[in-house]
Amino acid sequence: MRIATWNVNSITARLPRLLAWLESSGTDVLCIQETKCSAEQFPADALRELGYESAVHADGRWNGVALVSRVGLENVVRGLPGGPEYDGVQEPRAVSADCGGVRLWSVYVPNGREVGHAHYSYKLHWLETLRDVVATDAAGERPFAVLGDFNIAPTDEDVYDRSVFEGSTHVTAAERAALGALRDAGLSDVVPRPLKYDHPYTYWDYRQLCFPKNRGMRIDLVYGNASFAAAAKDAYVDREERKGKGASDHAPVVVDLDI
């Protein structure tokens, strides 16, 4: 089974590339983040023509997540149960389902904006809730994983220049401690270094020629339990999909499971 995660940065803008990538990559389940559309606007019909069912949690604002699967989609949960609100709204940042015998979460972790901002506190609270919500599945025997844009670089090696991010979000001790809490709950980073590339980043800003200069970050992660990690036989960042006109600023991250 081939499972992937991809922050598409607007599914409407990225739809032709998304459909072509699904066909060429042979992906069975895709976790999508930052749909930037309402649930009604989500292109479920176009995906259904390729054989994919869709589970969408979106409200047309800046967030939105989805799971699309051609191996089944059952027991869908939309939203992070008990998750915190921001500005009085529980944002659409998580959706989960059973897909072909594997339980998966697609998550879009809050950015945090800047250290000390209310959004930063919200991010840490959101991650704490995520840890509590997934703890039972993480400790279970069924293959289970949380995939998505975590907006955290796990180590200094996961950013092109640590000094550039000094004092910024995405690299703080508190954010990395939140990832540590997920690991303590029974999850591990299934796509560690090294991979095909010396620097397998997953995100490059559109500005300042960051992609051609490989000034990136690894913030799109796959955190799986022991059963999921044992079944993972290959993993890669599809850096090629970041190239060309109309690309997202994130690349897909792909994991192949033998189950």
Q: Find residue 90's DSSP bridge partners.
A: none
- 186: tokens are 């029974």
pLDDT tens for the chain, 259 residues long, are 999 999 999 999 999 999 999 999 999 999 999 999 999 999 999 999 999 999 999 998 789 999 999 999 999 999 999 999 999 999 999 999 999 999 999 999 999 999 999 999 999 999 999 999 999 999 999 999 999 999 999 999 999 999 999 999 999 999 999 999 999 999 999 987 555 555 689 999 999 999 999 999 999 999 999 999 999 999 999 999 999 999 999 999 999 999 8
* Residue 17 phi, psi dihedral angles, 5° rounding: -70, -40
SS3 content of the chain, % helix, strand, coil (to 5): 30, 30, 45
How many separate domains does the chain show? Answer: 1
**Domain CATH code at residue 110:** 3.60.10.10
Q: Which domain holds residue 190?
A: 2-257
- Rounded to two decimals, the pTM is 0.96
First-to-last alpha carbon distance for the chain, in angstroms, is 7
